[in-house]
Amino acid sequence: MLGAILDDLLTSPSTGPCITATRHFPPRPPVLAPFPPSLDSRIADALRARGIHELYSHQVLTWELIEKGHHVVVVTPTASGKTLCYNLPALQALIAQPDARVLYLFPTKALAQDQLAELEGLAKQLPEMRMFTFDGDTPQDARRAVRARANLVLTNPDMLHSGILPHHTKWATLFQNLRYVVIDELHAYRGVFGSHLSNVLRRLHRICRHYGSAPQFIMASATIANPGELARRLTGAPVEEIAESGAPTGDKTFLCYNPPVVNPELGIRAPYLGEAARLAVRFLREKIATIVFAQSRLATEVLLASVKHGVADKTGDSGIVRGYRGGYLPTRRRAVEKGLREGEVLGVVSTNALELGVDIGHLDVAVLAGYPGAIASLWQQAGRAGRRSGSSAAILVATSAPLDQFMATHPEYLFGAPPEHARVNPDNPFILVNHLKCAAFELPIGDHEKFGELDVRRLLAALEDEGVLHHTGSRWHWASETYPADHVSLRSVTSDNFLVIDTTALDTAQTKRRQIIAEVDWGSAFATIHPKAIYLVESEPYEVRELHFREDEEKVAYVKRVQVDYFTDAISAKGVWILQRLADESRPAYLAEQGEVLVAEKVVGFKKIKMGTLENVGSGEVELPQQERQTTAAWLTIAPETLERVSASREELIDGLRAVTYLLHHLAPIFLLCDIRDLGSWLGDTTPAEPGTVATRESTKRRLLAAERFNPTIYLYDSHAGGIGLAERLFEILPDLLRRGLETLHACGCRVGCPSCVGPVNEVGRKAKATAQALLRALTD
Amino acid sequence: MATPSLDGLRHIIRRLETARRPRTAAPPAHEVLGGELHDTPEGRVLVVRREFPLAHQHGRQPLGQAFEAPLQLLGAVARAETPLGDARRLLFLDTETTGLAGGTGTYAFLVGAGWLEDGRLVLAQYFMRDFDEEGALLAALAPLIERASGVVTFNGAGFDLPLLETRFILARRRWPPALAHLDLLRPSRRVWSARFADCRLATLEREVLGLLREDDVPGAVIPGLYFEFLRSRRAAPLARVFAHNRDDVLSLVALLGWFGRALLGDAHLQAEELAGLARLWEPVDLERALACYRRALGAGLTTAAAHRVRLRLAWWEKRAARWDAACDLWQAASRHDVFDPLPWEELAKFHEHRRRDLVAARAIVEEAMDLAGSGGAPERVLGALAHRLSRLTRRLASTGQHGA
């Protein structure tokens, strides 16, 4: 049935031309090897009892490298048996030495639960196995028992950071005897999360040294360009890399689907969400288990509504399709996972939250609504279909964004390009300072002690001046009443979350029921849960009535269930100011610089967008405070002569520069393993008139037009306070990025600009594409 | 907590590089606080030592009674895991810390310890003048703990002892694995939780020991005073912290004395205290507990407390199958001025299952429903009673018994 639908997609006149690339991956046989001779016979028996009589080559290679004492990272695809790579040495250590301890780290609690179940299955018959999860869900009274009994602890970096390391004396036995630290889903630790984890591991190393242990690290990662480098950056130690998988794979078809152009003049394509929903519904109607990945929470909700609608048309049952994303409460997510495993749920629309290895059983088709921003994520999401054997398919539905169009028109990049580099910046000053506080809380820091490889004496002195550290007897001591780990969230640079509380019941029954329906992080709160915003949960619209954001208040949004047919999109004003220049490169046509900037943003209003047609049906204003952050950026200032050569009209130049800004921002994530939202962009001026005053696009344009001196500057900045290493890399690749931008403009079929190259023509102006082309030619000469 | 901005950090660092602050000279802490420096293998530590005669009254309570307390009994009622030894070798402990957060970054900068020596109470306070004296403080403390027959604290199970254990482990010192410990918070809760709004030591001092502290320093400001001392080296403001800690240790001694007398039965106790004491006796000596409950009822409890005590007593009588006594108590409880379905249900069950008198059982449920209805009982209670009534009516119909 799957094959028939795929054939039809490829050959039918309505869809065939939209398929820009097809790749068939034939099944691959396994490469097997016998059990290593040193493997304990009881473990070998347990494997045989589960029908495993030989190992895959990469599992044996891991075993050998671990035996030699190396740290190891295994990089193999989904469902290649990577868990055995670390489970075998761990179980062996526990059997051989009654005192040995092993620590497993997973990025989420759900993954730890999954792994515990798998381990218990394997270790049922083995002696001395005392395996427990230890996380935020572990009841207080059970924690003591876990600390006392467990010799294998499954947890997450957050719990290690706030619940284990600051209480290391209660875990003294674990740290004295820590043999292995297992880190699965290593690729998830990039950007902010990875920068935090790297610091948490610096702290772990200190504690282990204190207790006299030096654990070996066994890590597993999905395919990224630099797993070895990432592993070394995270652990601060040399790591051996195993990249050759010996596991078999099933037969798989990968299609790239570019929605048809519906308005050639404006270069407008059919909305990708609608196309993705149509494709998913075709499979679901034939009872083919399908997962749809959306690229944002909002897109998830919009897609879910259309898929449910499409499926309900035929089957009359919309409960077989569910939504899944961060922000849903854990119970709701567990129910969806279970439903998928047990087959009650046939389809799921998810954000990348299901990209990681949460056990949801096998699915047949993955529809990727939009390029997930990284090759590694693309294969990870596609890998959710057909995990074990049999035929499966993955379809990438391109959006009209430049990045997606680049991929749709350069399939060789999609299939041939090496995956991206995962970047972390453990030395981000905001992140580093917070972890230094935690480290001092855990153990006084010696005068000559390094943190990782870093000399931190100046930072420690600064912290003493702030009054949280106290130096005496050649050591820095924690000298504050607070518990610093409580103030540091590993998932963001700052840590305040908003609770979304449904008050619908309050009006009807007059009861004071506070039903929490979601959580929203600080960074996106003003844009998504401002007053009068429509907030969607499983495609049910809620209107935000009140938002409490003041320093001294509990951060909450009170919402009420409403019946509306629109959602809201925030309008914000922005400003960027240079704080410090750290590097520059002067070229005839422009000056490129890199350094620190202040970014101020303010949500000033919102548009109402009708569901389905996506037309603008109204707007509103909101009064919210300005959010400011210091971060790192790369920027280029174009020489006046260059501008003169391109055009004499300042307005044309502004439109053209905006177009270039849009294009560079949207293309840059190809070169950095990052989400488009990890970057921000702004066309401004090197000498802004009023520091601290934000402006909308329109007022900025007016100001640039009226300015005495015209010094336009294109800023590309790291969205995370302090930066996670994106700006430095951007500065390096800027010449290449400009060349790619020019190529993309040449390749785009539209006449005067479209969302796929320089942005929607009604926003950038009719001459923007031509001006942008001229500018880029000048800049790449 | 505010994260320092990049600029802020840079600014601070620049300033630090130009000149590190000289520390102003202040008179030495041991002179200001009236203590002496003791040598330990880990260096010197400041000790402030006072002695008190056993007749010394802390509030209304003489200190000496603590050492006559029946310890085995007290340990049992307080559920101490390891039995306490000789009362005359107990160690009374209270710590002042750099915070309440717990974890490895919270220090006990002042430890007050009390013990009996040559017929007097010795109260020694060990103080670290800076973090690098912690080793000496712990070195001075360790032998006291080692040779004690047990440790007495107030909320030590939840706070002081885990904290000290953490400090010991960090200093690579052995913490006695089966330390006999009496945490007075536990029996205090049993005796007084019904009587006072809270069971904080300050409340018990005021209400039970009759002690009013003058110019006491609030616990919440103590860490800040210590941090300020670390910066300024001026010890004078710490004198109030030392006094606070001293009072805490003396209150431990006095409170143990109070419990001793109460358990020996020669204290004059209020009705509520008797009821609380009965709860204390329950796991140890049931008959004494029941006697104590009865004395409490006779001594004039408030109606709400009396109601609770009757139900508690009835529960034990029912378990002992002393049905007459249980029924009397339920009868009395059923007349409580706030409607409570429990005694009615118990009476109905007694008549239905014990006496097999379905008619009487039904009459009780009917009366209860009347009372509940007029008393505005919640839907859930009325529903349960209605359910019971219909079941009884069905059983009556099937057995052929009929009501009057």
DSSP A146-185: HHHH-SEEEE-HHHIIIIIGGGGGGGHHHHHTEEEEEE-S
Nearest CA in chain A to B222: A481
Interface residue A480 vs chain B (CB under 8 A): yes
Among A115, A93, A117, smallest CA distance to A104 is for A115
**CB B314: neighbour CB atoms within 10 A?**
24
- Judging contacts by C-beta atoms under 8 Å, the chain A residues touching residue B99 are 480-483
B7, B12, B103: residue with CB nearest A167: B103
- Do both B302 and B168 map to the same domain? no
| Token pair listed for A210 | 């204190």
The strand ranges marked E within B289-398 are none
- Do both B293 and B211 map to the same domain? no
Asked whether residue B18 carries a pLDDT value surpassing 50, the answer given is no
- Judging contacts by C-beta atoms under 8 Å, the chain A residues touching residue B13 are 458-459, 461-462
Q: How confident is the model at residue B21 (pLDDT cuts 50, 70, 90)?
A: very low
Chain B contacts to A (CB-CB under 8 A): 1, 3-7, 9, 12-13, 15-17, 98-105, 107, 130-132, 165-166, 169-170, 223-224, 227, 230-231
Query: What's the CATH code of the domain at B312?
Result: 1.25.40.10
The strand ranges marked E within A338-424 are 347-350, 365-369, 392-397
Instruction: Identify the CATH homologous superfamily for domain A32-242.
Output: P-loop containing nucleotide triphosphate hydrolases (3.40.50.300)
Nearest CA in chain A to B100: A481
In a domain? residue B4? no
- Do both B80 and B190 map to the same domain? yes
B15, B169, B231: residue with CB nearest A169: B169
Mean pLDDT (whole number) for A475-489: 90
pTM equals 0.78
Report ipTM for this prediction. 0.82
Residue ending a domain, among B233, B264, B295, is: B264
CA B43 to chain centre: 36
CA B174 to chain centre: 27
CB contact under 8 A, B16 and A461: yes
- Do both B306 and B242 map to the same domain? no
Interface residue A581 vs chain B (CB under 8 A): no
What digits encode the pLDDT tens for the residues A403-461? 788 788 778 777 776 666 777 888 887 789 999 999 999 999 999 999 988 999 999 99
- Judging contacts by C-beta atoms under 8 Å, the chain B residues touching residue A478 are 105
In a domain? residue B19? no
A441, A466, A470: residue with CB nearest B230: A470
Asked whether residue A512 carries a pLDDT value surpassing 80, the answer given is no
DSSP codes, A671-728: HTTS-GGGEEEEEEESS-SSTT--B-HHHHHHHHHH-SS--EEEEEEESSTT--SHHH
What digits encode the pLDDT tens for the residues B99-139? 988 899 999 999 999 999 999 999 999 999 999 999 999 99
CA B384 to chain centre: 38
- Do both B121 and B255 map to the same domain? yes
Among A295, A288, A320, smallest CA distance to A307 is for A320
Please tell me if the domain spanning A2-24+249-416 has the same topology as the one spanning A32-242: yes
Q: How confident is the model at residue A554 (pLDDT cuts 50, 70, 90)?
A: confident
- Do both B257 and B283 map to the same domain? no
Residue ending a domain, among B264, B294, B328, is: B264
C-alpha B317/C-alpha B286 separation (Å) is 11
Mean pLDDT (whole number) for A711-724: 86
In a domain? residue B12? no
Helix (H) or strand (E) segment spanning residue B47: strand B43-53
DSSP state of A333: H
Interface residue A601 vs chain B (CB under 8 A): no
Among B128, B85, B83, B136, smallest CA distance to B108 is for B128
CB contact under 8 A, B104 and A168: yes
- Do both B228 and B111 map to the same domain? yes
Give phi and psi for A32, each to the nearest 5: -110, 160
Q: How confident is the model at residue A236 (pLDDT cuts 50, 70, 90)?
A: very high
Range of the domain at B347: 271-399
- Judging contacts by C-beta atoms under 8 Å, the chain A residues touching residue B7 are 579, 630
Interface residue A228 vs chain B (CB under 8 A): no
In a domain? residue B392? yes
Nearest CA in chain B to A628: B5
What digits encode the pLDDT tens for the residues A615-664? 788 888 888 888 878 888 999 999 888 999 998 888 899 999 999 998 99
What is the count of structural domains for chain B?
2
- Do both B249 and B382 map to the same domain? no
Q: Which residues of B198-211 are buried (b: 16+ CB within 10 A; e: fewer)?
A: ebebbebbeebbeb
- Do both B151 and B239 map to the same domain? yes
CB contact under 8 A, A630 and B6: yes
- Substitution target from A480, A486, A596, A628 for chain B, most B beta carbons within 10 A: A480
In a domain? residue B1? no
* Topology of the domain comprising A2-24+249-416: Rossmann fold (3.40.50)
- Do both B208 and B276 map to the same domain? no
Give phi and psi for A123, each to the nearest 5: -95, 5
Q: How confident is the model at residue B8 (pLDDT cuts 50, 70, 90)?
A: low
Residue ending a domain, among B216, B239, B264, is: B264
- Do both B293 and B244 map to the same domain? no
CB A386 within 8 A of CB A379: no
B15, B131, B223: residue with CB nearest A472: B131
Domain segments of chain A: what residues? 2-24+249-416, 32-242, 429-487, 497-564, 572-603+625-780
Q: CA-based Rg of chain B, rounded to a whole angstrom? A: 29
What pLDDT, on the 0 to 100 scale, is given for residue A317? 44
Q: Is A657 exposed, middle or buried (0-12, 13-18, 19+ CB in 10 A)?
A: buried
C-alpha B43/C-alpha A561 separation (Å) is 67
What pLDDT, on the 0 to 100 scale, is given for residue B22? 45
- Do both B153 and B46 map to the same domain? yes
Q: What is the mean pLDDT of chain A?
A: 86
Among A217, A239, A216, smallest CA distance to A227 is for A239
Q: Which residues of B265-294 are buried (b: 16+ CB within 10 A; e: fewer)?
A: eeeebebbbbbbbbbbbbebeeebbbebbe
A441, A462, A494: residue with CB nearest B9: A462
C-alpha B351/C-alpha B395 separation (Å) is 13
Q: What is the amino acid identity at position B289?
A: A
In a domain? residue B246? yes
How distant is the Cα of A232 from the closest Cα of chain B, in angstroms? Answer: 27
Query: What's the CATH code of the domain at B78?
Result: 3.30.420.10
DSSP state of A261: E
Among A290, A450, A447, smallest CA distance to A382 is for A290
C-alpha A219/C-alpha A186 separation (Å) is 7
Among A206, A105, A757, smallest CA distance to A454 is for A206
